[in-house]
Amino acid sequence: MLIWLKAFHVIFVVTWFAGLFYLPRLFVYHASAKDAVSLERFVVMERRLYGITTIGGALAILFGVSMIVVQPQYLSAGWLRAKLVLVVLLIGYQHMCRALMRAFREGRNTRSDRWYRWFNEAPALLLIAIVILAVVKPSFG
Ligand code: HEM
């Protein structure tokens, strides 16, 4: 049971990250686009990708939480608690993407493509930290 939940958890984590990596990449190109056709195309691409990203994230969290429901002892592990703190940051990052996407859609973007290039690095750092916590399971204290 648990290994099946874990398998689907990882499948949807991958789906979620595909979006978290590519959405800010679209912002990089969107920020330097000038013509109306490109601007409109990016708005549509971003909206669709955001939808798929949200579904991946929701299912990854659903399967993660269901493992804790099946085996509540997980909650006493330090690595899992630390991981959950980083997951909250990840959800915050996705919300920020949504706000930035809306600003683009309404023609209010003020940030440069260079800024988005840096913004694009954050999910990679969170991915490294979360996977190390989930796989190595370091013990704290
Ligand atoms: C609310 C969100 C989440 C919850 C409740 C959760 C919970 C869990 C639990 C209970 C396990 C089983 C650990 C084990 O038995 O080895 C697990 C495994 C795993 N999680 Fe999450 N997780 C969440 C989000 C994430 C995210 C965002 C990532 C990636 C960035 C992630 C990556 C992994 C990986 C790679 C494993 C497999 C570890 C292994 O096989 O040793 N999880 N998660």
Report how far residue 47's alpha carbon sits from residue 27's, in angstroms, rounded to the nearest whole number: 12
What pLDDT, on the 0 to 100 scale, is given for residue 140?
80
Mutate to test the pocket of ligand 1, among 2, 12, 13 (most ligand atoms within 8 A of CB): 13
**Ligand 1 neighbourhood includes 86 CB (under 6 angstroms):** no
CA 67–ligand 1 middle distance (angstroms): 9
Boundaries of every domain in the chain: 2-136
Residue 58's alpha-carbon distances to 40, 64, 127, in angstroms, are 28, 10, 16
Query: Can you give the pTM of this predicted structure?
Result: 0.94
Contact between 25 and 51 under an 8 Å Cβ cutoff? The reply is no
pLDDT at 134: 98
Ligand 1 neighbour 90 (Cβ under 6 A): yes
pLDDT the model gives residue 24: 98
CA angle 90, 91, 95 (to 5 degrees): 115
44 has pLDDT over 90: yes
Q: What is the pLDDT of residues 120-129, one digit of tens each?
A: 999 999 999 9
Q: Give the residue from 47, 37, 52 showing the smallest Cα distance to 104.
A: 47
Kindly report the number of other CB atoms within 10 A of residue 137's CB atom: 12
pLDDT for the residue numbered 121? 98
In this structure, the number of other CB atoms found within 10 A of the CB of residue 136 comes to 9
Q: Would you state the pLDDT for residue 141?
A: 63
